[in-house]
Structure 1
Amino acid sequence: MSFKLYNHARGIYVSLLQLEDAGDLLHLRLRNRSHHQPFEPLREEDYFTLQSQRQLISQRIEEALEDRAYMFGIFLMDGTLIGQITLSNVVRGVGQYADMGYFIDHEQQGQGYTSAAVGLILKYAFQALALHRVQACILLHNHASRRVLEKNGFQAEGIARRYIKINGEWQDHRTYGVLAEDLMQDHL
Protein backbone atom coordinates (compact mmCIF):
# COMPACT_ATOMS: atom_id res chain seq x y z
CA MET A 1 0.00 0.00 0.00
CA SER A 2 1.82 3.06 -1.26
CA PHE A 3 0.48 6.42 -2.39
CA LYS A 4 1.32 10.10 -2.14
CA LEU A 5 -0.77 13.08 -1.03
CA TYR A 6 0.51 16.44 -2.32
CA ASN A 7 0.44 20.02 -1.18
CA HIS A 8 1.93 21.74 -4.22
CA ALA A 9 1.59 25.22 -2.72
CA ARG A 10 3.96 24.24 0.11
CA GLY A 11 6.11 21.97 -2.02
CA ILE A 12 5.63 18.79 0.02
CA TYR A 13 3.97 15.43 -0.13
CA VAL A 14 3.26 12.72 2.42
CA SER A 15 3.56 9.03 1.75
CA LEU A 16 3.39 5.92 3.90
CA LEU A 17 6.95 5.08 4.94
CA GLN A 18 8.38 1.95 3.30
CA LEU A 19 11.34 -0.22 4.28
CA GLU A 20 13.53 1.55 1.72
CA ASP A 21 12.98 4.78 3.70
CA ALA A 22 14.64 3.37 6.84
CA GLY A 23 18.07 4.85 6.10
CA ASP A 24 16.63 8.30 5.50
CA LEU A 25 14.47 8.04 8.63
CA LEU A 26 17.51 7.04 10.70
CA HIS A 27 19.51 9.96 9.28
CA LEU A 28 16.63 12.34 10.08
CA ARG A 29 16.38 11.04 13.66
CA LEU A 30 20.13 11.28 14.23
CA ARG A 31 20.33 14.84 12.84
CA ASN A 32 17.49 15.93 15.12
CA ARG A 33 18.22 13.82 18.18
CA SER A 34 19.44 16.55 20.54
CA HIS A 35 17.02 19.18 19.21
CA HIS A 36 13.95 16.94 19.63
CA GLN A 37 14.96 15.31 22.92
CA PRO A 38 13.09 17.81 25.14
CA PHE A 39 9.85 16.81 23.32
CA GLU A 40 10.27 13.02 23.11
CA PRO A 41 10.57 9.97 25.34
CA LEU A 42 14.07 8.84 26.23
CA ARG A 43 15.18 6.19 23.73
CA GLU A 44 17.61 3.30 24.10
CA GLU A 45 20.75 3.60 21.95
CA ASP A 46 19.63 0.74 19.72
CA TYR A 47 16.61 2.82 18.65
CA PHE A 48 19.05 4.91 16.62
CA THR A 49 20.10 2.04 14.37
CA LEU A 50 19.10 1.07 10.86
CA GLN A 51 17.75 -2.27 12.11
CA SER A 52 15.51 -0.55 14.67
CA GLN A 53 14.13 1.90 12.12
CA ARG A 54 13.44 -0.97 9.71
CA GLN A 55 11.61 -2.82 12.49
CA LEU A 56 9.56 0.28 13.29
CA ILE A 57 8.57 0.79 9.65
CA SER A 58 7.80 -2.91 9.24
CA GLN A 59 5.60 -2.81 12.35
CA ARG A 60 3.76 0.27 11.08
CA ILE A 61 3.23 -1.33 7.64
CA GLU A 62 1.63 -4.31 9.38
CA GLU A 63 -0.49 -1.99 11.54
CA ALA A 64 -1.67 -0.11 8.43
CA LEU A 65 -2.76 -3.39 6.86
CA GLU A 66 -4.70 -4.06 10.07
CA ASP A 67 -6.15 -0.50 10.14
CA ARG A 68 -4.49 0.26 13.49
CA ALA A 69 -1.87 2.91 12.61
CA TYR A 70 -0.43 4.76 9.61
CA MET A 71 3.09 6.23 9.57
CA PHE A 72 3.79 8.76 6.83
CA GLY A 73 6.95 10.49 5.81
CA ILE A 74 6.87 14.20 5.05
CA PHE A 75 8.88 14.75 1.86
CA LEU A 76 10.01 17.74 -0.17
CA MET A 77 9.07 17.44 -3.85
CA ASP A 78 12.60 16.23 -4.64
CA GLY A 79 12.03 13.20 -2.38
CA THR A 80 14.00 14.44 0.64
CA LEU A 81 12.51 13.10 3.89
CA ILE A 82 12.07 16.04 6.28
CA GLY A 83 9.63 14.68 8.86
CA GLN A 84 7.20 12.05 10.00
CA ILE A 85 3.49 12.13 10.83
CA THR A 86 1.57 9.23 12.30
CA LEU A 87 -2.03 8.32 12.92
CA SER A 88 -1.96 5.73 15.69
CA ASN A 89 -4.29 3.97 18.09
CA VAL A 90 -7.04 3.85 15.45
CA VAL A 91 -10.34 3.03 17.15
CA ARG A 92 -13.27 1.74 15.15
CA GLY A 93 -16.79 0.86 16.24
CA VAL A 94 -18.52 3.62 18.15
CA GLY A 95 -15.29 5.66 18.52
CA GLN A 96 -13.95 6.21 14.97
CA TYR A 97 -10.90 8.22 16.05
CA ALA A 98 -7.11 8.19 16.04
CA ASP A 99 -4.19 9.93 17.72
CA MET A 100 -1.83 12.09 15.67
CA GLY A 101 1.84 12.71 16.30
CA TYR A 102 4.50 14.36 14.15
CA PHE A 103 7.96 15.86 13.97
CA ILE A 104 9.87 17.88 11.41
CA ASP A 105 13.57 18.42 10.79
CA HIS A 106 14.60 21.34 13.00
CA GLU A 107 16.19 23.04 9.98
CA GLN A 108 12.82 22.95 8.17
CA GLN A 109 10.71 24.39 11.00
CA GLY A 110 8.78 27.60 10.45
CA GLN A 111 8.18 27.07 6.73
CA GLY A 112 4.65 25.72 6.95
CA TYR A 113 5.60 22.15 6.07
CA THR A 114 4.21 20.60 9.24
CA SER A 115 0.93 22.50 9.01
CA ALA A 116 0.56 21.41 5.39
CA ALA A 117 1.33 17.78 6.26
CA VAL A 118 -1.20 17.81 9.12
CA GLY A 119 -3.81 19.17 6.70
CA LEU A 120 -3.10 16.36 4.22
CA ILE A 121 -3.32 13.68 6.90
CA LEU A 122 -6.60 15.10 8.23
CA LYS A 123 -8.10 14.84 4.75
CA TYR A 124 -6.89 11.24 4.58
CA ALA A 125 -8.21 10.47 8.07
CA PHE A 126 -11.66 11.93 7.44
CA GLN A 127 -12.14 11.04 3.78
CA ALA A 128 -10.22 7.80 3.15
CA LEU A 129 -10.40 6.29 6.64
CA ALA A 130 -13.84 7.79 7.46
CA LEU A 131 -12.75 8.72 10.99
CA HIS A 132 -14.93 11.02 13.08
CA ARG A 133 -12.18 12.55 15.25
CA VAL A 134 -8.43 13.05 15.32
CA GLN A 135 -6.74 14.04 18.55
CA ALA A 136 -3.25 15.15 19.53
CA CYS A 137 -1.56 15.82 22.85
CA ILE A 138 1.32 18.27 23.12
CA LEU A 139 3.54 19.57 25.87
CA LEU A 140 2.20 22.77 27.41
CA HIS A 141 5.26 24.76 26.34
CA ASN A 142 5.32 23.48 22.73
CA HIS A 143 4.01 26.68 21.15
CA ALA A 144 5.05 25.78 17.59
CA SER A 145 3.04 22.56 17.72
CA ARG A 146 0.08 24.41 19.20
CA ARG A 147 0.10 26.76 16.20
CA VAL A 148 0.24 23.82 13.78
CA LEU A 149 -2.81 22.23 15.38
CA GLU A 150 -4.81 25.44 15.64
CA LYS A 151 -4.13 26.30 11.98
CA ASN A 152 -5.70 22.95 11.10
CA GLY A 153 -8.89 23.44 13.12
CA PHE A 154 -7.94 21.56 16.28
CA GLN A 155 -9.49 22.88 19.49
CA ALA A 156 -7.89 22.73 22.92
CA GLU A 157 -9.88 20.41 25.15
CA GLY A 158 -8.04 20.21 28.43
CA ILE A 159 -4.95 19.18 30.32
CA ALA A 160 -3.90 15.55 30.71
CA ARG A 161 -1.89 15.57 33.92
CA ARG A 162 1.46 13.77 33.88
CA TYR A 163 0.30 12.10 30.66
CA ILE A 164 3.48 10.87 28.99
CA LYS A 165 7.04 10.41 30.20
CA ILE A 166 8.96 12.89 28.06
CA ASN A 167 12.70 13.30 28.34
CA GLY A 168 12.64 11.13 31.47
CA GLU A 169 9.89 13.02 33.35
CA TRP A 170 6.10 12.59 33.50
CA GLN A 171 4.79 15.76 31.90
CA ASP A 172 1.42 17.43 31.49
CA HIS A 173 0.03 17.65 27.97
CA ARG A 174 -2.73 19.75 26.46
CA THR A 175 -5.21 17.66 24.50
CA TYR A 176 -6.52 18.90 21.16
CA GLY A 177 -9.20 17.45 18.94
CA VAL A 178 -10.75 18.08 15.57
CA LEU A 179 -13.92 16.48 14.21
CA ALA A 180 -14.74 15.67 10.61
CA GLU A 181 -17.69 18.06 10.76
CA ASP A 182 -15.45 20.87 12.05
CA LEU A 183 -13.51 20.80 8.80
CA MET A 184 -16.60 20.28 6.64
CA GLN A 185 -18.08 23.47 8.14
CA ASP A 186 -14.91 25.33 7.18
CA HIS A 187 -15.40 24.32 3.54
CA LEU A 188 -19.12 25.23 3.18
Structure 2
Amino acid sequence: MRDQRVWRDVNRRNRDWLRPWEATIPPPTASGPIVHRPTYRQMVRHLRAEANAGRMLPFVIEYQGRLVGQLTVAGITWGSMCSGHIGYWVDESVAGRGVMPTAVALAVDHCFRSVGLHRIEVCIRPENAPSRRVVEKLGFREEGMRPRYLHIDGAWRDHLVFALTVEEVPEGLLRRWHRARPRNTA
Protein backbone atom coordinates (compact mmCIF):
# COMPACT_ATOMS: atom_id res chain seq x y z
CA MET A 1 0.00 0.00 0.00
CA ARG A 2 2.93 2.35 0.64
CA ASP A 3 3.69 2.44 -3.11
CA GLN A 4 0.26 3.89 -3.98
CA ARG A 5 1.32 7.49 -4.61
CA VAL A 6 4.41 6.58 -6.62
CA TRP A 7 2.62 3.81 -8.54
CA ARG A 8 -0.21 6.17 -9.45
CA ASP A 9 2.21 8.91 -10.54
CA VAL A 10 4.14 6.55 -12.82
CA ASN A 11 0.95 4.98 -14.18
CA ARG A 12 -0.72 8.37 -14.77
CA ARG A 13 2.37 9.83 -16.47
CA ASN A 14 2.45 6.83 -18.82
CA ARG A 15 -1.31 6.59 -19.44
CA ASP A 16 -1.18 7.43 -23.17
CA TRP A 17 1.85 5.19 -23.74
CA LEU A 18 0.26 2.20 -21.94
CA ARG A 19 -3.35 2.57 -23.12
CA PRO A 20 -2.98 0.54 -26.35
CA TRP A 21 -1.58 -2.44 -24.40
CA GLU A 22 -3.40 -2.51 -21.05
CA ALA A 23 -6.37 -4.73 -20.34
CA THR A 24 -9.74 -3.01 -20.07
CA ILE A 25 -13.07 -4.07 -18.66
CA PRO A 26 -15.48 -5.13 -21.44
CA PRO A 27 -18.90 -3.49 -21.52
CA PRO A 28 -21.58 -5.30 -19.54
CA THR A 29 -23.76 -7.87 -21.25
CA ALA A 30 -27.50 -8.08 -20.72
CA SER A 31 -27.04 -10.82 -18.12
CA GLY A 32 -23.66 -9.78 -16.70
CA PRO A 33 -22.84 -7.41 -13.87
CA ILE A 34 -21.39 -3.95 -14.42
CA VAL A 35 -17.70 -4.11 -13.55
CA HIS A 36 -15.53 -1.05 -12.96
CA ARG A 37 -11.77 -0.64 -13.05
CA PRO A 38 -10.55 -1.43 -9.51
CA THR A 39 -9.13 1.22 -7.22
CA TYR A 40 -5.48 0.91 -6.22
CA ARG A 41 -6.50 -0.56 -2.84
CA GLN A 42 -8.79 -3.10 -4.52
CA MET A 43 -5.98 -4.06 -6.91
CA VAL A 44 -3.52 -4.59 -4.06
CA ARG A 45 -6.07 -6.62 -2.06
CA HIS A 46 -6.72 -8.80 -5.12
CA LEU A 47 -2.99 -9.28 -5.80
CA ARG A 48 -2.37 -10.23 -2.16
CA ALA A 49 -5.30 -12.66 -2.06
CA GLU A 50 -4.20 -14.35 -5.29
CA ALA A 51 -0.58 -14.50 -4.08
CA ASN A 52 -1.67 -16.02 -0.75
CA ALA A 53 -3.68 -18.61 -2.68
CA GLY A 54 -0.60 -19.54 -4.75
CA ARG A 55 -2.10 -18.34 -8.04
CA MET A 56 -0.09 -15.16 -8.58
CA LEU A 57 3.26 -13.48 -7.93
CA PRO A 58 2.98 -9.68 -8.12
CA PHE A 59 6.12 -7.52 -8.29
CA VAL A 60 6.97 -3.87 -8.66
CA ILE A 61 9.96 -3.04 -10.82
CA GLU A 62 12.57 -0.63 -9.55
CA TYR A 63 15.36 0.99 -11.50
CA GLN A 64 18.01 3.14 -9.85
CA GLY A 65 15.97 3.16 -6.64
CA ARG A 66 12.64 4.26 -8.08
CA LEU A 67 9.47 2.40 -9.03
CA VAL A 68 9.26 2.17 -12.83
CA GLY A 69 6.76 -0.60 -13.51
CA GLN A 70 5.00 -3.76 -12.55
CA LEU A 71 5.35 -7.44 -13.43
CA THR A 72 2.85 -10.11 -12.48
CA VAL A 73 3.09 -13.85 -12.83
CA ALA A 74 -0.56 -14.85 -12.94
CA GLY A 75 -2.73 -17.82 -13.81
CA ILE A 76 -0.41 -20.11 -11.88
CA THR A 77 -1.63 -23.66 -12.34
CA TRP A 78 -0.28 -26.66 -10.48
CA GLY A 79 -0.71 -30.39 -10.98
CA SER A 80 0.24 -31.80 -14.35
CA MET A 81 0.64 -28.31 -15.89
CA CYS A 82 2.83 -26.30 -13.45
CA SER A 83 2.67 -23.10 -15.47
CA GLY A 84 1.88 -19.42 -15.34
CA HIS A 85 1.86 -16.37 -17.54
CA ILE A 86 3.62 -13.04 -17.19
CA GLY A 87 2.23 -9.58 -17.79
CA TYR A 88 4.18 -6.36 -17.37
CA TRP A 89 4.42 -2.64 -17.99
CA VAL A 90 7.28 -0.18 -17.63
CA ASP A 91 7.71 3.58 -17.47
CA GLU A 92 8.42 4.92 -20.95
CA SER A 93 11.35 6.92 -19.52
CA VAL A 94 13.34 3.70 -18.91
CA ALA A 95 12.13 1.67 -21.91
CA GLY A 96 14.95 0.35 -24.05
CA ARG A 97 17.48 0.18 -21.19
CA GLY A 98 17.15 -3.54 -20.52
CA VAL A 99 14.98 -3.04 -17.44
CA MET A 100 12.08 -5.19 -18.59
CA PRO A 101 14.09 -8.08 -20.06
CA THR A 102 16.05 -8.19 -16.79
CA ALA A 103 12.85 -8.14 -14.72
CA VAL A 104 11.25 -10.89 -16.83
CA ALA A 105 14.44 -13.00 -16.63
CA LEU A 106 14.55 -12.63 -12.84
CA ALA A 107 10.87 -13.56 -12.53
CA VAL A 108 11.23 -16.59 -14.82
CA ASP A 109 14.28 -17.83 -12.91
CA HIS A 110 12.36 -17.43 -9.63
CA CYS A 111 9.39 -19.32 -11.06
CA PHE A 112 11.52 -22.15 -12.41
CA ARG A 113 14.08 -22.48 -9.61
CA SER A 114 12.22 -21.48 -6.43
CA VAL A 115 8.51 -21.84 -7.15
CA GLY A 116 8.75 -25.03 -9.21
CA LEU A 117 6.90 -24.03 -12.37
CA HIS A 118 7.70 -25.81 -15.61
CA ARG A 119 6.37 -23.38 -18.23
CA ILE A 120 5.91 -19.61 -18.54
CA GLU A 121 3.89 -17.85 -21.23
CA VAL A 122 3.78 -14.23 -22.31
CA CYS A 123 0.89 -13.13 -24.54
CA ILE A 124 1.47 -9.94 -26.53
CA ARG A 125 -0.52 -7.97 -29.07
CA PRO A 126 1.15 -8.39 -32.48
CA GLU A 127 1.43 -4.59 -32.84
CA ASN A 128 3.35 -4.18 -29.56
CA ALA A 129 6.87 -4.18 -30.98
CA PRO A 130 8.66 -3.10 -27.76
CA SER A 131 7.04 -5.90 -25.75
CA ARG A 132 7.76 -8.43 -28.48
CA ARG A 133 11.43 -7.36 -28.38
CA VAL A 134 11.54 -8.26 -24.68
CA VAL A 135 10.61 -11.89 -25.28
CA GLU A 136 12.69 -12.11 -28.46
CA LYS A 137 15.78 -10.86 -26.60
CA LEU A 138 15.19 -13.51 -23.94
CA GLY A 139 14.69 -16.35 -26.41
CA PHE A 140 11.04 -17.16 -25.77
CA ARG A 141 9.62 -19.23 -28.60
CA GLU A 142 6.60 -17.99 -30.52
CA GLU A 143 3.83 -20.58 -30.44
CA GLY A 144 0.97 -18.98 -32.31
CA MET A 145 -1.98 -16.63 -32.19
CA ARG A 146 -4.84 -16.42 -29.70
CA PRO A 147 -7.67 -14.64 -31.53
CA ARG A 148 -9.61 -12.06 -29.51
CA TYR A 149 -7.73 -13.17 -26.39
CA LEU A 150 -8.02 -10.12 -24.10
CA HIS A 151 -10.14 -7.01 -23.91
CA ILE A 152 -7.69 -4.15 -24.44
CA ASP A 153 -8.26 -0.50 -25.20
CA GLY A 154 -11.98 -1.06 -25.74
CA ALA A 155 -12.00 -4.20 -27.93
CA TRP A 156 -11.17 -7.90 -27.92
CA ARG A 157 -7.60 -8.12 -29.25
CA ASP A 158 -5.54 -10.90 -30.79
CA HIS A 159 -2.36 -11.91 -28.97
CA LEU A 160 0.75 -13.82 -29.96
CA VAL A 161 1.78 -16.51 -27.48
CA PHE A 162 5.42 -16.85 -26.48
CA ALA A 163 6.58 -19.58 -24.11
CA LEU A 164 9.59 -21.02 -22.35
CA THR A 165 10.04 -24.20 -20.33
CA VAL A 166 12.56 -24.90 -17.62
CA GLU A 167 14.43 -27.35 -19.89
CA GLU A 168 15.14 -24.53 -22.36
CA VAL A 169 17.15 -22.49 -19.85
CA PRO A 170 19.11 -24.93 -17.66
CA GLU A 171 21.67 -22.20 -16.92
CA GLY A 172 18.93 -19.71 -15.98
CA LEU A 173 17.32 -17.02 -18.09
CA LEU A 174 19.12 -14.10 -16.41
CA ARG A 175 22.49 -15.69 -17.11
CA ARG A 176 21.52 -16.30 -20.75
CA TRP A 177 20.26 -12.70 -21.06
CA HIS A 178 23.50 -11.31 -19.63
CA ARG A 179 25.60 -13.42 -22.00
CA ALA A 180 23.58 -12.32 -25.04
CA ARG A 181 23.26 -8.65 -24.05
CA PRO A 182 25.44 -6.08 -25.78
CA ARG A 183 28.08 -4.77 -23.39
CA ASN A 184 27.44 -1.06 -24.04
CA THR A 185 23.85 -0.91 -22.70
CA ALA A 186 22.81 0.32 -19.28
| Same-fold status (TM-score > 0.5) | yes
Structure-2 residue corresponding to 1:155 = 141
Whether the 8 Å contact between 1:153 and 1:182 is mirrored in structure 2 is: no
Gaps of 5+ in 1: 1-18
1:56 and 2:43 correspond? yes
Q: Which amino acid aligns with 1:142?
A: N
Q: Which amino acid aligns with 1:37?
A: R
Q: Structure 2: how far apart are the matches of 1:67 and 1:41?
A: 22
Whether the 8 Å contact between 2:55 and 2:75 is mirrored in structure 1 is: yes
1:29 and 2:11 correspond? yes
Q: Offset at 1:185? A: 6.1
- The DSSP-based 3-state class of the residue aligned with 2:96 is coil
Q: Which amino acid aligns with 1:38?
A: P
1:91 and 2:73 correspond? no
Structure-2 residue corresponding to 1:183 = 169
Count matched residues. 165
Q: Offset at 1:43? A: 5.9
Q: Offset at 1:58? A: 2.0
Gaps of 5+ in 2: 27-35, 177-186
Percent of aligned positions that are identical: 31
- Which of 36, 59, 69 is 2:56 aligned to? 69
Q: Which amino acid aligns with 2:112?
A: F
TM-score, structure 2 as length reference: 0.82
- The DSSP-based 3-state class of the residue aligned with 2:14 is helix
Q: Offset at 1:131? A: 0.1
Whether the 8 Å contact between 2:25 and 2:151 is mirrored in structure 1 is: no
Structure-2 residue corresponding to 1:3 = none
Structure-2 residue corresponding to 1:114 = 100
- The DSSP-based 3-state class of the residue aligned with 1:39 is coil
- The DSSP-based 3-state class of the residue aligned with 1:174 is strand
User: Which moves more between the two structures, 138-147 or 91-100?
Assistant: 138-147
- The DSSP-based 3-state class of the residue aligned with 1:38 is coil
Q: Structure 1: how far apart are the matches of 2:74 and 2:61?
A: 16
Q: Offset at 1:21? A: 1.4
TM-score, structure 1 as length reference: 0.81
Q: Offset at 1:77? A: 3.6
Q: Structure 2: how far apart are the matches of 1:47 and 1:170?
A: 17
Q: Structure 1: how far apart are the matches of 2:10 and 2:114?
A: 28
Q: Offset at 1:175? A: 0.4
Q: Which runs of 4+ in 1 moved over 4 A?
A: 185-188
Per-residue CA shift, 1:94-149, capped at 9, x if unaligned? Answer: 11000100000011111110011001001111011110000011000111111111
Structure-1 residue corresponding to 2:2 = 20
Q: Structure 1: how far apart are the matches of 2:41 and 2:8?
A: 9
Counterparts in 2 of 1:170 and 1:47: CA distance versus 1, 3 Å: closer
The structure whose residues are more often strand, as a share, is: 1
